[in-house]
DNA sequence: CTTGACCTTCCCATCATGGTAAGGTTGAAG
DNA sequence: CTTCAACCTTACCATGATGGGAAGGTCAAG
Protein backbone atom coordinates (compact mmCIF):
# COMPACT_ATOMS: atom_id res chain seq x y z
CA UNK A 1 0.00 0.00 0.00
CA UNK A 2 3.00 2.27 -0.44
CA UNK A 3 2.44 4.64 -3.31
CA UNK A 4 5.44 4.63 -5.56
CA UNK A 5 6.37 8.12 -6.66
CA UNK A 6 7.88 6.70 -9.84
CA UNK A 7 4.86 4.78 -10.96
CA UNK A 8 2.58 7.73 -11.61
CA UNK A 9 -0.27 7.29 -14.08
CA UNK A 10 0.32 10.82 -15.25
CA UNK A 11 2.61 11.46 -18.16
CA UNK A 12 4.60 13.86 -16.07
CA UNK A 13 7.98 13.97 -17.66
CA UNK A 14 9.92 15.54 -14.84
CA UNK A 15 9.46 17.18 -11.51
CA UNK A 16 8.65 20.84 -12.01
CA UNK A 17 11.48 23.25 -11.41
CA UNK A 18 10.17 26.74 -11.92
CA UNK A 19 7.33 25.74 -14.13
CA UNK A 20 4.97 27.25 -11.62
CA UNK A 21 5.81 30.40 -9.84
CA UNK A 22 3.45 29.30 -7.10
CA UNK A 23 5.51 26.42 -5.79
CA UNK A 24 4.75 22.78 -5.11
CA UNK A 25 1.35 21.37 -4.40
CA UNK A 26 0.85 19.46 -1.20
CA UNK A 27 1.02 16.20 -3.10
CA UNK A 28 4.38 17.05 -4.58
CA UNK A 29 5.64 18.02 -1.17
CA UNK A 30 4.34 14.75 0.18
CA UNK A 31 6.18 12.71 -2.43
CA UNK A 32 9.30 14.77 -2.01
CA UNK A 33 9.37 14.62 1.76
CA UNK A 34 7.95 11.24 2.60
CA UNK A 35 5.31 12.88 4.76
CA UNK A 36 1.73 12.28 3.70
CA UNK A 37 -0.34 15.23 2.56
CA UNK A 38 -2.66 14.42 5.40
CA UNK A 39 0.08 14.90 7.92
CA UNK A 40 1.32 18.10 6.29
CA UNK A 41 -2.13 19.59 6.78
CA UNK A 42 -2.16 18.24 10.30
CA UNK A 43 1.14 19.87 11.17
CA UNK A 44 -0.15 23.14 9.84
CA UNK A 45 -3.33 22.82 11.89
CA UNK A 46 -1.25 22.13 14.97
CA UNK A 47 0.86 25.18 14.34
CA UNK A 48 4.11 23.36 13.61
CA UNK A 49 4.13 24.83 10.14
CA UNK A 50 3.04 28.33 9.22
CA UNK A 51 -0.11 28.55 7.14
CA UNK A 52 0.83 27.69 3.60
CA UNK A 53 0.30 30.11 0.76
CA UNK A 54 -2.96 29.46 -0.99
CA UNK A 55 -4.10 29.80 -4.56
CA UNK A 56 -7.31 31.64 -5.30
CA UNK A 57 -9.17 28.34 -5.11
CA UNK A 58 -7.68 27.43 -1.75
CA UNK A 59 -4.93 25.08 -2.88
CA UNK A 60 -1.83 25.07 -0.71
CA UNK A 61 1.46 25.83 -2.39
CA UNK A 62 4.85 25.31 -0.84
CA UNK A 63 8.29 26.71 -1.49
CA UNK A 64 11.65 25.16 -0.72
CA UNK A 65 11.73 26.57 2.78
CA UNK A 66 8.46 24.91 3.68
CA UNK A 67 9.66 21.67 2.12
CA UNK A 68 12.75 21.88 4.26
CA UNK A 69 10.72 22.28 7.41
CA UNK A 70 8.54 19.35 6.52
CA UNK A 71 11.61 17.20 6.01
CA UNK A 72 12.87 18.48 9.33
CA UNK A 73 9.73 17.23 11.02
CA UNK A 74 10.10 13.87 9.40
CA UNK A 75 13.67 13.53 10.61
CA UNK A 76 12.71 14.52 14.12
CA UNK A 77 9.91 11.95 14.12
CA UNK A 78 12.51 9.37 13.19
CA UNK A 79 14.20 10.15 16.47
CA UNK A 80 10.94 9.69 18.31
CA UNK A 81 10.32 13.32 19.19
CA UNK A 82 6.71 14.18 19.84
CA UNK A 83 5.06 16.92 17.86
CA UNK A 84 5.14 19.43 20.74
CA UNK A 85 8.89 18.90 21.04
CA UNK A 86 9.29 19.22 17.30
CA UNK A 87 7.43 22.50 17.45
CA UNK A 88 10.08 23.76 19.86
CA UNK A 89 12.86 22.37 17.73
CA UNK A 90 11.46 24.16 14.71
CA UNK A 91 11.32 27.43 16.57
CA UNK A 92 14.95 27.01 17.53
CA UNK A 93 15.85 26.02 14.01
CA UNK A 94 14.30 29.18 12.62
CA UNK A 95 16.03 31.35 15.18
CA UNK A 96 19.55 32.29 14.09
CA UNK A 97 20.24 33.53 17.60
CA UNK A 98 19.38 30.27 19.33
CA UNK A 99 21.69 28.67 21.84
CA UNK A 100 22.61 25.10 21.08
CA UNK A 101 22.13 24.20 24.74
CA UNK A 102 18.40 24.63 24.25
CA UNK A 103 18.44 22.11 21.45
CA UNK A 104 20.63 19.80 23.43
CA UNK A 105 18.30 20.01 26.42
CA UNK A 106 15.38 18.91 24.28
CA UNK A 107 17.42 16.09 22.84
CA UNK A 108 18.54 14.92 26.27
CA UNK A 109 14.97 14.94 27.51
CA UNK A 110 14.01 12.80 24.57
CA UNK A 111 16.93 10.52 25.27
CA UNK A 112 15.73 10.11 28.80
CA UNK A 113 12.22 9.33 27.61
CA UNK A 114 13.65 6.71 25.26
CA UNK A 115 15.68 5.12 28.03
CA UNK A 116 12.64 4.96 30.25
CA UNK A 117 10.50 3.38 27.57
CA UNK A 118 13.17 0.91 26.58
CA UNK A 119 13.61 -0.09 30.20
CA UNK A 120 9.93 -0.77 30.62
CA UNK A 121 9.80 -2.84 27.47
CA UNK A 122 12.89 -4.78 28.46
CA UNK A 123 11.34 -5.63 31.78
CA UNK A 124 8.30 -6.98 29.97
CA UNK A 125 10.60 -8.84 27.64
CA UNK A 126 12.50 -10.40 30.49
CA UNK A 127 9.40 -11.59 32.31
CA UNK A 128 7.82 -12.87 29.15
CA UNK A 129 10.95 -14.70 28.04
CA UNK A 130 11.09 -16.52 31.32
CA UNK A 131 7.46 -17.55 31.04
CA UNK A 132 7.80 -18.65 27.45
CA UNK A 133 10.81 -20.77 28.27
CA UNK A 134 8.88 -22.47 31.04
CA UNK A 135 5.90 -23.35 28.89
CA UNK A 136 5.98 -26.73 27.24
CA UNK A 137 3.92 -25.54 24.31
CA UNK A 138 2.29 -28.88 23.69
CA UNK A 139 -1.33 -29.97 23.50
CA UNK A 140 -1.66 -30.29 27.25
CA UNK A 141 -3.51 -27.61 29.19
CA UNK A 142 -0.75 -27.06 31.76
CA UNK A 143 0.65 -23.61 31.19
CA UNK A 144 2.98 -21.65 33.46
CA UNK A 145 2.12 -18.52 31.49
CA UNK A 146 -1.53 -18.70 32.38
CA UNK A 147 -0.64 -19.76 35.90
CA UNK A 148 1.48 -16.69 36.39
CA UNK A 149 -1.09 -14.39 34.88
CA UNK A 150 -3.63 -15.81 37.30
CA UNK A 151 -1.33 -15.36 40.27
CA UNK A 152 -2.34 -12.65 42.70
CA UNK A 153 1.18 -11.46 43.39
CA UNK A 154 3.92 -12.41 41.03
CA UNK A 155 7.22 -11.15 39.74
CA UNK A 156 5.33 -9.31 37.06
CA UNK A 157 3.60 -7.31 39.70
CA UNK A 158 4.69 -4.20 41.48
CA UNK A 159 6.66 -1.07 40.66
CA UNK A 160 3.92 -0.06 38.30
CA UNK A 161 1.96 3.04 39.18
CA UNK A 162 3.90 3.38 42.42
CA UNK A 163 5.81 6.62 42.69
CA UNK A 164 7.68 7.54 45.82
CA UNK A 165 4.68 9.01 47.54
CA UNK A 166 3.70 12.62 47.71
CA UNK A 167 3.24 12.91 51.46
CA UNK B 1 -3.83 11.05 42.83
CA UNK B 2 -3.77 7.40 43.80
CA UNK B 3 -6.57 6.57 46.17
CA UNK B 4 -5.28 4.64 49.10
CA UNK B 5 -7.48 1.71 49.95
CA UNK B 6 -6.54 1.98 53.60
CA UNK B 7 -7.42 5.62 54.02
CA UNK B 8 -11.13 5.38 53.40
CA UNK B 9 -13.38 8.02 54.92
CA UNK B 10 -15.93 5.36 55.58
CA UNK B 11 -15.92 3.55 58.89
CA UNK B 12 -15.65 0.25 57.10
CA UNK B 13 -13.99 -2.03 59.58
CA UNK B 14 -13.01 -4.82 57.24
CA UNK B 15 -13.44 -5.95 53.70
CA UNK B 16 -16.74 -7.76 53.40
CA UNK B 17 -16.58 -11.52 53.27
CA UNK B 18 -20.10 -12.75 52.85
CA UNK B 19 -21.75 -9.69 54.24
CA UNK B 20 -23.44 -9.26 50.93
CA UNK B 21 -24.64 -12.20 48.99
CA UNK B 22 -24.42 -10.05 45.91
CA UNK B 23 -20.65 -9.77 45.76
CA UNK B 24 -18.28 -6.87 45.48
CA UNK B 25 -19.13 -3.53 43.99
CA UNK B 26 -17.03 -2.29 41.12
CA UNK B 27 -15.18 0.02 43.46
CA UNK B 28 -14.20 -2.82 45.75
CA UNK B 29 -13.03 -4.81 42.77
CA UNK B 30 -11.04 -1.82 41.60
CA UNK B 31 -9.28 -1.45 44.95
CA UNK B 32 -8.71 -5.16 45.17
CA UNK B 33 -7.34 -5.57 41.68
CA UNK B 34 -5.52 -2.36 40.98
CA UNK B 35 -7.63 -1.83 37.88
CA UNK B 36 -9.74 1.30 37.86
CA UNK B 37 -13.51 0.95 37.86
CA UNK B 38 -13.47 2.82 34.61
CA UNK B 39 -11.31 0.19 33.01
CA UNK B 40 -13.37 -2.67 34.42
CA UNK B 41 -16.41 -1.24 32.67
CA UNK B 42 -14.33 -0.73 29.56
CA UNK B 43 -13.19 -4.34 29.51
CA UNK B 44 -16.76 -5.44 29.86
CA UNK B 45 -17.86 -3.17 27.02
CA UNK B 46 -15.08 -4.61 24.86
CA UNK B 47 -16.17 -8.14 25.63
CA UNK B 48 -13.10 -9.17 27.59
CA UNK B 49 -15.26 -9.74 30.64
CA UNK B 50 -18.75 -11.20 30.64
CA UNK B 51 -21.50 -8.79 31.58
CA UNK B 52 -21.45 -8.43 35.33
CA UNK B 53 -24.43 -9.31 37.47
CA UNK B 54 -26.52 -6.26 38.19
CA UNK B 55 -28.60 -5.18 41.15
CA UNK B 56 -32.14 -4.00 40.56
CA UNK B 57 -30.84 -0.45 40.27
CA UNK B 58 -28.19 -1.39 37.76
CA UNK B 59 -25.15 -1.65 40.03
CA UNK B 60 -22.56 -4.17 38.95
CA UNK B 61 -21.63 -6.89 41.43
CA UNK B 62 -18.67 -9.18 41.10
CA UNK B 63 -17.75 -12.54 42.53
CA UNK B 64 -14.34 -14.03 43.10
CA UNK B 65 -14.17 -15.48 39.62
CA UNK B 66 -14.70 -12.11 38.04
CA UNK B 67 -12.12 -10.59 40.35
CA UNK B 68 -9.70 -13.24 39.26
CA UNK B 69 -10.22 -12.43 35.63
CA UNK B 70 -9.74 -8.75 36.23
CA UNK B 71 -6.46 -9.44 37.98
CA UNK B 72 -5.55 -11.66 35.07
CA UNK B 73 -6.05 -8.76 32.69
CA UNK B 74 -3.91 -6.53 34.83
CA UNK B 75 -1.08 -9.01 34.84
CA UNK B 76 -1.27 -9.47 31.11
CA UNK B 77 -1.16 -5.70 30.61
CA UNK B 78 2.00 -5.69 32.70
CA UNK B 79 3.54 -7.88 30.02
CA UNK B 80 2.45 -5.44 27.35
CA UNK B 81 -0.26 -7.58 25.79
CA UNK B 82 -2.91 -5.64 23.93
CA UNK B 83 -6.53 -6.04 24.86
CA UNK B 84 -7.37 -8.16 21.79
CA UNK B 85 -4.58 -10.55 22.76
CA UNK B 86 -5.75 -10.57 26.33
CA UNK B 87 -9.21 -11.47 25.13
CA UNK B 88 -7.71 -14.55 23.52
CA UNK B 89 -5.68 -15.36 26.59
CA UNK B 90 -8.79 -15.16 28.72
CA UNK B 91 -10.62 -17.52 26.43
CA UNK B 92 -7.79 -19.98 26.74
CA UNK B 93 -7.64 -19.49 30.46
CA UNK B 94 -11.32 -20.34 30.82
CA UNK B 95 -11.00 -23.40 28.65
CA UNK B 96 -9.85 -26.45 30.61
CA UNK B 97 -9.18 -28.25 27.34
CA UNK B 98 -6.81 -25.65 25.94
CA UNK B 99 -3.44 -26.55 24.54
CA UNK B 100 -0.54 -24.71 26.10
CA UNK B 101 0.95 -24.23 22.67
CA UNK B 102 -1.79 -21.78 21.89
CA UNK B 103 -0.85 -19.71 24.90
CA UNK B 104 2.79 -20.00 24.05
CA UNK B 105 2.16 -18.83 20.52
CA UNK B 106 0.47 -15.70 21.76
CA UNK B 107 3.29 -15.07 24.16
CA UNK B 108 5.90 -15.54 21.50
CA UNK B 109 4.11 -13.16 19.21
CA UNK B 110 4.11 -10.61 21.98
CA UNK B 111 7.76 -11.27 22.58
CA UNK B 112 8.46 -10.59 18.95
CA UNK B 113 6.47 -7.38 19.07
CA UNK B 114 8.48 -6.32 22.10
CA UNK B 115 11.75 -7.08 20.38
CA UNK B 116 10.71 -5.10 17.37
CA UNK B 117 9.67 -2.11 19.40
CA UNK B 118 12.78 -2.22 21.54
CA UNK B 119 14.90 -2.37 18.43
CA UNK B 120 13.25 0.69 16.98
CA UNK B 121 13.67 2.63 20.16
CA UNK B 122 17.28 1.58 20.49
CA UNK B 123 17.99 2.80 17.01
CA UNK B 124 16.51 6.14 17.92
CA UNK B 125 18.53 6.09 21.09
CA UNK B 126 21.73 5.37 19.24
CA UNK B 127 21.24 8.14 16.71
CA UNK B 128 20.19 10.61 19.33
CA UNK B 129 23.09 9.78 21.62
CA UNK B 130 25.52 10.42 18.85
CA UNK B 131 23.94 13.76 18.07
CA UNK B 132 23.82 14.81 21.69
CA UNK B 133 27.46 13.95 22.18
CA UNK B 134 28.36 16.07 19.18
CA UNK B 135 26.48 19.13 20.35
CA UNK B 136 28.46 21.63 22.37
CA UNK B 137 25.41 22.73 24.30
CA UNK B 138 26.62 26.27 24.80
CA UNK B 139 25.09 29.63 23.95
CA UNK B 140 26.29 29.52 20.38
CA UNK B 141 23.82 28.75 17.60
CA UNK B 142 25.93 26.00 16.02
CA UNK B 143 24.15 22.72 16.54
CA UNK B 144 24.87 19.38 14.90
CA UNK B 145 21.49 18.17 16.05
CA UNK B 146 19.63 20.78 14.07
CA UNK B 147 22.03 20.34 11.19
CA UNK B 148 21.30 16.66 11.00
CA UNK B 149 17.56 17.17 11.30
CA UNK B 150 17.77 19.59 8.41
CA UNK B 151 19.78 17.18 6.30
CA UNK B 152 17.96 15.68 3.34
CA UNK B 153 19.47 12.25 3.67
CA UNK B 154 21.13 11.30 6.89
CA UNK B 155 21.88 8.27 9.00
CA UNK B 156 18.57 8.78 10.71
CA UNK B 157 16.86 8.14 7.45
CA UNK B 158 15.83 4.91 5.87
CA UNK B 159 14.82 1.46 7.07
CA UNK B 160 11.64 2.93 8.40
CA UNK B 161 8.45 1.62 6.88
CA UNK B 162 10.44 -0.72 4.68
CA UNK B 163 9.50 -4.31 5.11
CA UNK B 164 11.20 -7.02 3.15
CA UNK B 165 8.68 -6.98 0.37
CA UNK B 166 6.06 -9.58 -0.31
CA UNK B 167 7.36 -10.81 -3.65
C1' DC C 1 -16.59 20.34 -22.00
C1' DT C 2 -15.11 16.04 -20.33
C1' DT C 3 -12.13 13.47 -17.69
C1' DG C 4 -9.18 11.93 -14.22
C1' DA C 5 -6.00 13.12 -10.97
C1' DC C 6 -5.71 16.23 -7.69
C1' DC C 7 -7.14 19.35 -3.97
C1' DT C 8 -10.38 21.00 -0.04
C1' DT C 9 -12.78 20.32 4.60
C1' DC C 10 -15.09 17.38 7.90
C1' DC C 11 -15.93 13.29 10.47
C1' DC C 12 -14.64 8.86 12.37
C1' DA C 13 -11.27 5.08 13.91
C1' DT C 14 -7.32 3.37 16.16
C1' DC C 15 -5.32 2.06 21.52
C1' DA C 16 -5.64 2.33 26.46
C1' DT C 17 -6.63 5.44 29.66
C1' DG C 18 -8.40 9.49 32.20
C1' DG C 19 -11.51 13.34 33.21
C1' DT C 20 -15.83 15.34 33.92
C1' DA C 21 -20.77 16.05 34.00
C1' DA C 22 -25.41 14.93 35.20
C1' DG C 23 -28.03 12.07 37.67
C1' DG C 24 -29.55 7.84 40.44
C1' DT C 25 -28.54 4.41 44.65
C1' DT C 26 -27.00 2.90 49.00
C1' DG C 27 -26.54 2.58 53.75
C1' DA C 28 -25.61 4.61 58.09
C1' DA C 29 -26.97 8.07 61.24
C1' DG C 30 -30.16 11.34 63.12
C1' DC D 1 -38.42 8.94 57.18
C1' DT D 2 -34.98 12.35 55.95
C1' DT D 3 -30.37 13.56 55.13
C1' DC D 4 -25.90 13.07 53.52
C1' DA D 5 -21.66 11.34 51.92
C1' DA D 6 -19.93 8.03 49.28
C1' DC D 7 -20.88 5.37 45.82
C1' DC D 8 -22.76 3.91 41.34
C1' DT D 9 -24.63 4.72 36.37
C1' DT D 10 -24.14 6.36 31.40
C1' DA D 11 -22.32 9.53 28.06
C1' DC D 12 -19.18 12.56 26.04
C1' DC D 13 -14.51 14.45 25.22
C1' DA D 14 -9.35 14.26 25.43
C1' DT D 15 -4.85 12.37 24.71
C1' DG D 16 -0.89 11.33 20.22
C1' DA D 17 0.04 10.33 15.62
C1' DT D 18 -1.85 8.48 11.95
C1' DG D 19 -5.13 6.60 8.51
C1' DG D 20 -9.59 6.10 6.01
C1' DG D 21 -13.33 7.84 3.77
C1' DA D 22 -17.08 10.99 2.10
C1' DA D 23 -18.68 15.00 -0.39
C1' DG D 24 -17.44 18.35 -3.25
C1' DG D 25 -14.40 21.81 -5.81
C1' DT D 26 -10.12 22.61 -9.10
C1' DC D 27 -6.62 21.92 -12.53
C1' DA D 28 -4.56 20.47 -16.81
C1' DA D 29 -4.79 17.77 -20.88
C1' DG D 30 -7.53 16.15 -24.70
Contacts of residue A161 in chain B, CB cutoff 8 Å? 2, 34
Q: B22-43 pLDDT, tens per residue?
A: 799 999 999 999 999 999 999 9
Q: In this predicted structure, what is the pLDDT of residue B141?
A: 97
Mutate to test the interface with B, among A29, A86, A89, A125 (most CBs of B within 10 A): A125
Contacts of residue A135 in chain B, CB cutoff 8 Å? 100, 103-104, 107
CA distance A109 to A85: 10
Residue B46: CB atoms within 10 Å: 12
Q: A26-41 pLDDT, tens per residue?
A: 999 999 999 999 999 9
CA distance A72 to A78: 10
User: Coil, strand or helix: which one is A72?
Assistant: helix
CA-based nearest residue in chain B for residue A118? B118
Q: Tell me the pTM.
A: 0.84
CA A61 – C1' D26 distance (Å)?
A: 14
Output the CA torsion A93→A96→A101→A105 (10° steps). Answer: -20
Q: A59-103 pLDDT, tens per residue?
A: 999 999 999 999 999 999 999 999 999 999 999 999 999 999 999
B143 interfaces chain A, CB cutoff of 8 Å: yes
What nucleotides of chain C have any atom within 7 angstroms of a protein Cβ? 4-9, 15-20, 24-29
Q: Which residues contact B48 (CB under 8 A, 6 or more apart)?
A: B73, B83, B86, B87, B90
**HSE-up of B142 (CA within 13 Å, CB side)?**
5
CA distance A120 to A143: 25
B149 interfaces chain A, CB cutoff of 8 Å: yes
CA distance B62 to B12: 19
Q: Identify the weakest region by mean pLDDT among A145-154, B75-84, B129-138.
A: A145-154
Q: B56-94 pLDDT, tens per residue?
A: 999 999 999 999 999 999 999 999 999 999 999 999 999
Q: In this predicted structure, what is the pLDDT of residue B133?
A: 97
B113 interfaces chain A, CB cutoff of 8 Å: no
Q: Contact A75/B161, CB-based, under 8 Å?
A: no
Amino acid sequence: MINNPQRLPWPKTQEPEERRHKGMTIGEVARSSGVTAKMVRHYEALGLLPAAQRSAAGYRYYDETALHEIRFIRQARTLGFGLPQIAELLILWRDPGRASQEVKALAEAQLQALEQKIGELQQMQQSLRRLVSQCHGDDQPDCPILDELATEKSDLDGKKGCHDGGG
